[in-house]
Structure 1
């Protein structure tokens, strides 16, 4: 009887122990799997993904073609010039109007790691002054975003930044999107965009 029960539950044990699926969102060569919104510049240089303001100096987005609802995303960024950008999650885009939530990527003292809802409630979580020293301007930084159900957590260079729950976020679904803020003069480098589906 014990052998029978073991044989019955063994496949379930393998399913439960299966490793989390990892997805490399950026292949280091081209923009396969992504879609450009707007007229700003998105290109690959030396294995890095670059976002840069164009002559129109408007908002621009680069979004995954696939939707990701529950995930743990790690991405490295390096700000050059004005680094006002961000990583959107559970987002949908029409033209250059985006619906979703942004994890801020911005110059020092401008809430990198905070959560902003575009065309909605605005700031949901800003960063306290004592955490503004975690950002390393002009160097590579690692941003981690974990979203499961209505629970959102962000980390910058291994330090916790935001831990919040929100029913509206919990009900949404959409793509991952990188942003170029309007105003011009923006350039940010991105690399190692690795997503684990939860």
Structure 2
């Protein structure tokens, strides 16, 4: 057993030594997007209210328009991990490969992993690119979402390949043959209608583009 452990440690050290300079090994290359204090790493689009308190990021609609909180840089291939909780009756989503028309909250490109705590609303499915639903979870997984508690979501985007896990359950694994875009920002959405009220925390991203 001791010899096996020594061999494993030696192998891991050898692999990490071969990583390009400045590259962190898997598991250590996650970046905290939300620092638990403010929205310094984000850009607000659409004029909705985004506040931070006690490590929780809250988005609350103040008008009937869409609202977004987008990253300051583009991502191509990535993994994103977060926790979300639905407080109001509105819905939300994690947009990817996103761009907005200048000076507006109109999405000019992008799709989203749906967030909606009502049963049967395809949370963790993919919607957008001007085509409505692209893929949604199997019917037996529609009850995985927790309606009044925190949910854990992990999404992976690699080019036109999209996967998502919700509360430990795989929801979609889909390669989109019609994907028109493969790069853009990541954005948290507040759906239009005026009753959007969502909470997020523990938001981390792992850039896979150079992996």
Runs of 4+ displaced beyond 4 Å: 10-13
Check 1:27–1:126 CA distance in 2 against 1; reply closer, same or farther (3 A cut). same
In structure 1, the residue matched to 2:171 is: 161
Check 1:12–1:155 CA distance in 2 against 1; reply closer, same or farther (3 A cut). closer
Q: Where is the strand percentage greater, Structure 1 or Structure 2?
A: 1
Q: Distance in 1 between matches of 2:85 and 2:15?
A: 44
In structure 2, the residue matched to 1:7 is: none
Aligned residues: 187
Q: 2:106 aligns with which of 91, 97, 114?
A: 97
RMSD across aligned C-alpha pairs, in angstroms?
2.0
SS, match of residue 130 in structure 1: helix
Shift of 1:13: 4.9
SS, match of residue 58 in structure 1: coil
Task: Give unpaired runs (5+ residues) of structure 1.
Answer: 1-9
Shift of 1:71: 0.9
Q: Distance in 2 between matches of 1:171 and 1:187?
A: 29
Q: TM-score, normalised by structure 1?
A: 0.88
SS, match of residue 120 in structure 2: coil
Deviations 1:48-76 (A, max 9, x none): 1101110x221011100111111111110
Q: TM-score, normalised by structure 2?
A: 0.82
Q: Distance in 1 between matches of 2:200 and 2:114?
A: 14
In structure 2, the residue matched to 1:179 is: 189
